[in-house]
Each structure stands twice: as structure tokens, then as C-alpha cells.
């Protein structure tokens, strides 16, 4: 699957020290694919950094529409997913395989993919990001109904 023939998107990306190297790699590929990428940090690998400091601004940018989709990376991807989902309007998921990368968007309107920089290799990560970015929400009635329930929950 090649992102090079897909419409360019505004993408946000963020990583702590555990995802820094993978973020650098994905930044180059996203840029080469023609996307406009905003890097929310960290700008250098610092072992004492904290993923919420980078993932929260990314998640807020996704929720506000400043970026269309987000890529959040920490060592395992778990912490990035937990904190991103605390921001209303964000639907983030830890993804380590191809099916969920596109199905999460198609059925659940996933807007932030979370990856484990110490778990997923560069080639697989790029494949997952491409699947995530090229997928579109299906707008089938059952998926819209479920999404409405999630949005209602966020309002409470």
C-alpha cells in the first residue's frame, strides 16, 4: 500500500525517548509521501522525558482539527494510547498489526494511531501508518450509531 498516491493530509506526530528513533524515521517517510507534518516533540531523545508532555498537545491538535490524524509513539505505545484518549474528541488505539490499523478508522473513526517504538520495527510501523492514513470512516448506520454513543459519553 503506497501513501504516495493518496491525498496529502495534515498529520501530527509525537514521541518520548522510547519512540524517538521511530518518530524520526516516520517523519521522513510522511514528508516524502507529501503530507504536512507537525512534530509535537520530543526534539531530542531525553531519557527523563514524559510522553504526556508530547502526546497531549498532539491529541488536542487532532481534537481541534489543526491536524487531521495523529501518530503517537512511546516505548510500548500503551501510555500514549491512555493519555491520548483522555482528550475529548480523540479516539486513539494501540496498533501493532495491519487489520486494526485500517479497521479502527473504518468502523470506529480512529484518529490517533499509537505505536510502540520499542515493540514495532520501522517497516511494520510504516505499513501500519499507511493503512491508518488511507482508511476512511465507513459512515454505515451501525458505525455512526456507535460513534454517537461514544461522543455522548464524552459530553457527560
Rounded distance between C-alpha atoms, residue 33 and residue 56, angstroms = 25
3-155 CATH fold: Ribose 5-phosphate Isomerase B; Chain: A, (3.40.1400)
Name the helix (H) or strand (E) containing 112: strand 112-116
What is the pLDDT at residue 2? Answer: 40
The sign of the CA dihedral 104, 150, 60, 6 is positive
pLDDT in tens, 78-125: 999 999 999 999 999 999 999 999 999 999 999 999 999 999 999 999
Rounded distance between C-alpha atoms, residue 102 and residue 80, angstroms = 19
Burial (CB < 10 A; 0-12, 13-18, 19+), residue 126, is: buried
Catalytically active residues, by annotation: 74
What is the pLDDT at residue 5? Answer: 53
Q: Where are the domains of the chain?
A: 3-155
Name the helix (H) or strand (E) containing 38: strand 36-39
Is pLDDT of 4 > 90?
Answer: no
Amino acid at each position: 500500500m503506497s501513501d504516495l498516491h493518496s491525498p496529502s493530509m495534515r498529520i501530527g506526530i509525537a514521541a518520548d525517548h522510547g519512540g524517538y528513533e521511530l518518530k524520526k524515521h516516520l517523519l521522513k517517510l510522511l514528508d516524502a509521501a507529501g503530507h504536512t507534518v507537525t512534530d509535537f516533540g520530543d526534539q531530542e531523545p531525553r531519557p527523563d522525558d514524559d510522553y504526556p508532555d508530547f502526546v497531549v498537545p498532539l491529541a488536542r491538535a487532532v481534537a481541534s482539527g489543526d491536524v487531521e490524524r495523529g501518530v503517537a509513539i512511546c516505548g510500548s505505545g500503551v501510555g500514549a494510547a491512555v493519555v491520548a484518549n483522555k482528550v475529548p474528541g480523540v479516539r486513539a488505539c494501540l496498533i501493532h498489526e495491519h487489520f486494526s490499523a485500517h479497521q479502527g478508522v473504518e468502523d470506529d473513526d480512529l484518529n490517533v494511531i499509537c505505536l510502540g517504538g520499542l515493540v514495532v520495527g520501522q517497516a511494520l510501523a510504516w505499513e501500519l501508518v499507511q493503512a491508518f492514513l488511507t482508511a476512511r470512516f465507513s459512515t454505515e448506520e451501525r458505525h455512526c450509531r456507535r460513534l454517537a454513543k461514544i461522543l455522548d459519553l464524552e459530553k457527560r
